[in-house]
Amino acid sequence: MLQGARHVHISSLNKASRECKIPIKIVELRTSLELLNQDIDALIIPGGESTTMRLTGNSPSSLLLPNLLDWLRNNSNIPVLGTCAGAILLADPQDGKGPLINASIDRNAYGRQINSFQAEVMTKLFDRTFPGIFIRAPRFNSDVPSENIVATCGDEVVGVRKDNKIALTFHPELSGDVAFHRWLIEQAKTIMEG
């Protein structure tokens, strides 16, 4: 909750929870203490500005980012949805410990804000199309192993999965379609029951 399109994720999670009839409790994380003092079963890393997230998340009053990255490495089964800037943090954590997904990524690869666009995405995860909203989006490089690809837009890879972590270069929370949020909740439930 340090920066970016985070409040829309909360309403999307609530809508997804109603749709799949799985009750949820949403915990807002701003500091490392908030992360370490609760049981977290799934995580969303929102879109926004990854530079700002790195600055605020590494500031002494938060320290959320380095602790979150370590926590993710120690809990590799936790379902995670990283969108846009969130995908950048997963692919390029810059903490000297290597990426959390099997992909490298380029920031602002489609150009400036004016080059933001909407386009239909095809997702293997739900075997259907999904409305893709790309806002000053990053771009995965062509080094993504095919088994890790979960979403494409034309020839481009726009969604990557490793274990239970999904990184998308678009903003599903702005589309009104909460399929990815449902996936996150259902995945967390499966793991909790497993």
Token pair 């903003």 in the structure block, residue: 171
Token pair 């995405």 in the structure block, residue: 121
Minimum distance from residue 29 beta carbon to ligand GLN (Å): 18
Q: Is 173 a catalytic residue?
A: yes
Burial 167-180 (b: 16+ CB within 10 A, else e): bbbbbbbbbebbbb
Is residue 139 at the binding interface for ligand GLN, with CB under 6 A as the rule?
Answer: no
Q: What is the DSSP secondary structure assignment for residue 115, as one 8-state letter?
A: G
Q: Compose the 29-68 pattern: x for residues touching ligand GLN by CB under 6 A, - for all others.
A: ------------------xxxx------------------
Q: Is 171 a catalytic residue?
A: yes
The edge-to-edge listing of strands for the beta sheet with 128-134 is 43-45, 80-83, 165-168, 156-162, 149-153, 117-123, 128-134
> Which of these segments, 25-33, 57-65, 81-89, 152-160, binds ligand GLN (CB under 6 A)?
81-89
> Which of these segments, 18-26, 130-138, 148-156, 173-181, binds ligand GLN (CB under 6 A)?
130-138
Give the Cβ contact number of residue 48 at 10 Å: 19
Catalytically annotated residue among 9, 84, 156, 181? 84
Residues that bind ligand GLN (CB under 6 A): 47-50, 84-85, 88, 107-108, 135-136, 138
Residues labelled catalytic: 84, 171, 173
